[in-house]
Every structure is written in structure tokens, then in C-alpha cells.
A and B are shown apart, each in its own frame.
Chain A
Amino acid sequence: MTAPRPAPTAGDGPAIEARELSRRFGAFLAVDRVSFEVERGEIFGYLGANGAGKSTTIRMLTGLLAPTSGTGRVAGFDVRTEPEAVKASIGYMSQKFSLYLDLPVRENLVFFGGAYGLWGKALARRADEVLALADLRDAGDVTTGDLPGGVRQRLALACAILQRPRIVFLDEPTAGVDPVARRTFWRIIRELAREGTTVFVTTHYLDEAEYCRRIGLMVDGRLVALDTPAALKATWVPERLLVARGRDLARAGERLRGLPGVQHVVRFGAALHVRVAPGGVSEEAVAAALRSAGASDVAVEGAEPSLEDVFLAVVGANGRGAEAAS
């Protein structure tokens, strides 16, 4: 498990490993015994409300903040005892990542490249590569302060991956960015992951979390759920959501309320949304019931719950002091 020094990301352990990681600020326990592993090449989403402990976890894993207790290993290095080795093998985009707004785009890249020991031709070539990757080919000479927010975030990401890190930590990279720019940003993140980079990303946009292979959910400093989006939905929102379409559904809908397992029937535009408890009636049974009540051209299919449903369920459960799922 322990990678031998000095080769970064040597061995075949997980890219990131947290064990009982905790951080206390005075009386406030910001991160409470968090444990997880992130595999190589995985996009790992870290979700939670503001103040849930996401940034504190990232700062411990990037060697910026010493853990109060517990251990963390990143790229095989201990974040407490070998923070410099950790820093040399990761890319990091802090929540407040700030480029130098008075400098041109390229100068920012040249500076951060130099900070990682790149120089000369190699640096120039790499700068061109990341500019292309971040869709900034023609922006090299623009003063950074003149760029819109979403483009700045792409430049910040470009700066964070200059030295070809095997692992990147992105702390709320798309906060305050418009939906189109967010989509472009995530396209780049997925491209990175395809090339084998491990991506650890925090966000509070739940639609973005769908792009992650696995998601950790933080509530009040604790990691209360951790799994793939599909598994989280299955665990936390076990009810099935059925959507029925057809003609003359409105009156027929009343008939469904008596069926076993049906919890909820709502009209949603021209369709009916039917929530069914696990083990309740099947799609076919619902369709048959609707037809016998006078509806025609009936089609019923299952719909997935959203991560928003999961998030609300998790927060609700943990607000009542329930135990973590994973």
C-alpha cells in the first residue's frame, strides 16, 4: 500500500486515501473522522452545503493544512509528513483561485509553469497544449482581467494541470459560472479523466455530480454517504417514480390511489407522476389500471430520481441523527 519514495504515484495503491481524517478549529470540528479512497483515473465528486467541510478536507489532502488527527495519503505520500512530495505530484485549483488579473493569459501560465520548475521550450510547448485543451488558443495575449468568469476558470484549470499532475483537486471550480460555461468546463474535466488523471472535485451543483463516477456527501463535517450516483439513488430514494402518458388520464388517475404501494400521484403537465414504494405495483399493473379506468394510448415508464432527491434524503436523515450509509 505504501508507495516508496521518491517516485510520485509509485505503487498501485489508490490515488487518494483518507483514514479517520479530522480537523478541528478551536471548538469547531470542521471535518470529523472522514475515510474514503479514490481510485486512479476516477472523477470523484465531493458534495455538501457551504461549511460542510469540503474545502477543509481538500486543504488537508493538498498538504496546506495539517490534520488534527487521522491520516491522508495522496499519490502514495503522507500529507502530514511529506506535504512537499504531495504538492509536487498534484494540481490544485483553490476555491478562491486567483490568477493575476493584471497579467496576460500566457504570463499566468508561464508563471505557474515556472513555479513547478518548467522553463524554456518545454514550458512554451506545454503552455500551448493546455491553452488548446482549455479552449483558449486565441486568448494568450488577452489581459486576464478582461476575460469573463467562466473563461477565467478554464484558465485557472489550465494553470493547475501545467505540470501534468496525476491527481487534480478542484475546489468548487464552477461556482458562479453560467450553465453553458459549466458544461464546457466539465467536458475538459472528463477529457482529463479519460487520459488517466484522477479528479477530486467539490461542487454544490447536483447536476454536475452526475458526471462523477462516485460521490461523497458531506453533512456537518461528516462523510455520510459515498457511492456511485445510481447506487446512491437506489439506497436513498428506494421508491420508484413512474411516468404515465396517454389520453384521458386525469380522471383515471384517481383509480391508482388504491393500488398497493402507490404513495403519491401528481399531475405533471399532460403526464401523471406516480411514486411507488419498493415491492409495490409494476409498470404493467399501473398501465392496466389506467386503461380499465377509461384512459387510452397509455404508456408507463420508470423515471430515475435526481441527485437532488438523494441530497434531500441524506440531509434529512442525518439531521435526525441517523447513521451514515457507507
Chain B
Amino acid sequence: MIRRLRRSLVRVGAMASKETTHVLRDPRMLYLALVMPVVMLFLFGYGISIDLDRIPLGVADQDRTEASRALVHTLTESGELTVAADTTPEGADRLFRRGDAAAVLVVPQQYGERLARRERVALQLLVDGSDVTSANQVLSKVDALVRAETRRLAGASVAQAQVPLTVKVWTRYNPAGRSAIFMVPGLAAFIIALTAVLLTTLTVAGEWERGSMEQLFASPVGRLEIVLGKLIPYLVLGLLELLLVVAFGASVFDVPVRGAPVLVLLVGFFFVVGMLGQGLLVSVITKNQLVATQAGLLSALLPSLLLSGMVFPIENMPVPLQLLSRVIPARYMVHALREILLKGNGLAVLWPDLVAVIAFAAAVIALSTLRFQRRLA
């Protein structure tokens, strides 16, 4: 029994050390594992900033009084909105078509007079809806600023007239609302999903194409031994990659690390095993490097990008997609990373994510070992 175990360990060790030599001798692998993730993090981290600054606002001031100028001043004070053009309600379309303004604020005639008489005044906001993200941000920003202005006006003129309900917003964890802080944990999970799947698809399909798989099958190396020997070196590489991405996120994008880094490694360990296993499964089924790479990329890229909650909130998805997202391991990794890094949560909150990534890893490893027939036909 002990002897058999030792022989088995020798075989796993032989596989693992051979794979390590492959990686060390192949700069492309190292590039794929260690350079590409950082490059991607930079590209995505700067590219997928969904914060809008200095939104161009057209102003059609039909009142032109001190009061109307005060309103425009309040709106543009913070720099989030800037006056892009002085225009008329009819001129709004032209501005939108040329892309010179994301919205046009129409201040009606007699704005100042009616305010002084304490009458209700309706401002008009024309919004370019062709870019939904920008439109939503303009809406919420203008809405918030106008409320503030209303309160200011009310407070200034009628000190005792209390507004019955006010909401004081106090944003925790990401007070500045910076999207990088939200995006980087998601990106980390996404990038690792992608590269881990690619790492194993390339290596296993390579053995099939080279014909060395037949040679391996003719030796006493068992299925699980092949699988483990293939996984171990890439697992180490994947974890290095995870640390690298988190470290870069923290230093370049100021992503906080509030929780225990060891938790990142714990969840990351099983997540990486799961994604490596997915790559293994793909290449066990396809047996061809080109097909395996394509299938591996698609099977990792699309779900991890679209269904992980990295960009699109899962709660807003149609129910079938929500259900589908439950079998996407990136979903749990994204969630866990945000919980650990941004909120400093521990296992009390993370355990469902941990259970999910372990279950996925166990399932794909079992499946690929079963599919891995050590016979040729």
C-alpha cells in the first residue's frame, strides 16, 4: 500500500516536474500567466472606468436673472457637470447630434419671479438617451443637485418650513463611487479564469497532438496521476497570478485590502483548480489544440465576463440567466473578492462562495478524470 502510494507520488512528481520544465523553457507560457494579466488589468482598469466626469451640459436659460444664474452655478460647481453651450430648447437636438452635450437644461421664463412668489417651477431636462450609461448618470446627478438647490432655496427663504423627509446618504466601502474599486476584484477573477483555462487546454491538447499521450497511456501512469501532475505546476502559477493581480490592483488602482489576504488565497486556490480543471475537461474532449483553445476561451471568457456580476449586476438579469450564473465559478470568486477586499468580511460571510468553488473544482476534476479514457478507442 505504502509502496504503491510512493510509486504513484513518483509518477505525479515526474509529470509535475516535466510540466514545470516546459513552462520554464517556454517564455510564451510565462507571458500568458504573468505578463498578460497585468497588461489586461491596466487596459481594463483604465478602460472600464464607468465614472463620468465633466459631463457636457447645454443650458437654455430663458430667464436670464440672478436666480437662474445661481441655479446653473450650483449645478456646475462640483465639476461633474460643465456648461458646454449656451443654447435654446430648439437647439438641443443639434447639440446632441454633434455630441456636444449629454443633456440640455431648460430654465423657463419667469423662473426667478415665480421662485420669489413661492410658486412651483418646472425645470426641463432634455437627455441624449442613445448612451444609456451616460444618460442614467446625468439623470441621477442633475436630480441630486436640483434637490440640493431646492433645499437650499427652502432653507434660505422659509427657515421654519421643515421638509418632512430627508435622506442623508452615507456611502460606505467606496465613498467616492470609483468604479475601479468595484471593477478590479471582478477583473482579477475574470483574468484568472481566462488564463487558467488557457494554460491547461494548451498543454493537454498538445500532448494529444504530439502523440505523447499514447506513450503516456502505454505506461503505468494513471488517469488521476496525469491530471494531478498537469494541475500542480499551473496551480502554483495561477496563484502567483492571483497575488500579482491583487497586488497591482492595490498599488495602482488603490483597491483596499481590508480582509485577510490568506482568504483570497483560500478561495483563489479552489477557484484556480476549478478553472484549470475546466481547461482540462475541454482539452480531454476536443483533443486538438486549435479547437481546444477556441472552446476553452469561449467557455471561460463569455460566462466569466457576462454572468459573473463583474460588470452586469446579477440581480438585474432575467431569471434563467440568474440560474445559469449559479454554475459559473467566476460569480463566486468575484463576490468573494469584493467581500474580502472591500468589506473585510471573513468566512462567516464567504463560506457559501467557498463551498461553491470547491464543488465546481471537484466536479470538473472528477468529470475530466472520468472522460480521460486511457484507451485509444
Contact residues, B214-236 vs A (CB, 8 A): 214-221
Interface: B212 (CB within 8 A): yes
Interface 9-mer from B6-14, B240-248, B355-363: B6-14
Residues of B near A110 (CB, < 8 A) are 14, 17
Which residues of chain B are near A114, meaning CB under 8 Å? 10-11, 13-15, 17-18
Nearest CB on B from A215, distance (A): 24
**B220 in complex: contacting residue of A65, A88, A102, A111, CB < 8 Å:** A88
Docked Cα-Cα span, A63 to B214, in Å, equals: 11
Q: A92-B215, A94-B214 are in contact. Are A66 and B7 (CB under 8 A)?
A: no
Chain A residues whose CB sits within 8 angstroms of the CB of B251 once the complex forms = none
Binds B, one of A42-50, A116-124, A216-224, A238-246: A116-124
Q: Tell me the minimal C-beta distance from B314 to chain A in angstroms.
A: 43
Partner of A59, one of B219, B221, B376: B376
Q: How many A-B residue pairs have CB under 8 A?
A: 83
Residues of chain B within 8 A (CB-CB) of A227 are none
A119 and B15 alpha carbons, distance in the complex (Å): 12
> Contacting chain A: which of B21-29, B133-141, B190-198?
B21-29
Q: Are B211 and A96 in contact (CB under 8 A)?
A: yes
Are the C-beta atoms of A87 and B220 separated by less than 8 Å? Answer: yes
Is B117's beta carbon under 8 Å from chain A?
Answer: no
| Bound complex: CA A27 to CA B164 (Å) | 86
Is A36 at the interface (CB under 8 A from chain B)? no
Residue A177 CB within 8 A of the other chain: no
In the assembled complex, the Cα of A94 lies from the Cα of B216 at a distance in Å of: 10
- A25 on the B face (CB < 8 A): yes
Interface pair A103/B212, CB less than 8 Å apart: no
Query: How many residues of B are counted as interface, with CB atoms below 8 angstroms from the partner's CB atoms?
Result: 26
Instruction: Give A24 to B7 CA distance when docked, in angstroms.
Output: 36
A210 within 8 Å of B by Cβ? no
Q: Is the CB of A64 within 8 A of B217?
A: yes
Q: How far is the CB of A239 from chain B (nearest CB, A)?
A: 43
| Mask of B194-213 contacts with A, CB within 8 angstroms, 1/0 | 00000000000000001110
**CA of A110 to CA of B212, assembled, Å:** 15
CB-based nearest A residue for B377: A65
Given the contacts A114-B13, A117-B7, A118-B10, A103 and B218 also touching, CB distance less than 8 Å: no
Residues in B1-50 with C-beta less than 8 Å from chain A:
7, 10-11, 13-15, 17-18, 21-22, 25-26
Interface band, chain A: 20 to 34
A180 contacts partner chain B, Cβ-Cβ < 8 Å: no
A186 CB–B CB distance under 8 Å: no
CB distance from A203 to the nearest CB of B (A): 19
- In contact, A64 and B13 (Cβ under 8 angstroms): no
Name the residue of chain A whose CB is nearest to the CB of B4.
A117
User: With an 8 A cutoff between CB atoms, is B152 at the interface?
Assistant: no
CB-based contact B377/A115 at 8 Å? no
Known contacts A94-B218, A98-B212; decide if A117 and B375 are in contact (CB<8 Å): no
Residue of A87, A99, A111 near B218 (CB, 8 A) is A87
Nearest residue (CB) in B for A93 is B215
Closest CB in chain A relative to B228 CB, distance in Å: 13
Which residues of A are found within 8 Å of B10, using beta-carbon distances? 114, 117-119
Answer whether A87 and B210 are a contact pair too, CB < 8 Å, given A103-B22, A117-B7.
Answer: no
Distance in angstroms from B119 CB to nearest chain A CB is 82
Is the beta-carbon distance between A113 and B14 smaller than 8 angstroms? yes
A37 within 8 A of B: no
Given B220, B375, B376, which contacts A115 in the complex, CB threshold below 8 Å?
Answer: B220
- Of chain B, the residue at the smallest CB distance from A102 is B25
Q: A55 to chain B: closest CB distance in Å? A: 10
- Is A185 interfacial (CB 8 A cutoff)? no
How far, in Å, is A25 (CB) from chain B's closest CB? 7
How far, in angstroms, from A202 to B14 measured CA to CA in the complex?
Answer: 30
Q: In whole angstroms, how far apart are the Cα atoms of A22 and B127 in the complex?
A: 77
**Contacting A111 at CB < 8 Å: which of B14, B214, B217, B377?**
B14
The complex places the Cα of A119 from the Cα of B17 at a distance, in Å, of 12
6 new A-B contacts, CB < 8 A, other than A84-B220, A98-B211, A98-B215, are A63-B375, A87-B218, A99-B212, A100-B18, A100-B22, A111-B18
Interface residues of B (CB under 8 A from A): 7, 10-11, 13-15, 17-18, 21-22, 25-26, 210-212, 214-221, 375-377
CB-defined A-B contacts under 8 Å, sample of 7: A64-B375, A65-B375, A100-B212, A103-B21, A115-B15, A117-B220, A118-B10
| Complex A-B, nearest 8 residue pairs according to Cβ-Cβ distance, in ascending order | A114-B14, A96-B211, A117-B7, A92-B218, A98-B211, A111-B18, A115-B219, A98-B210
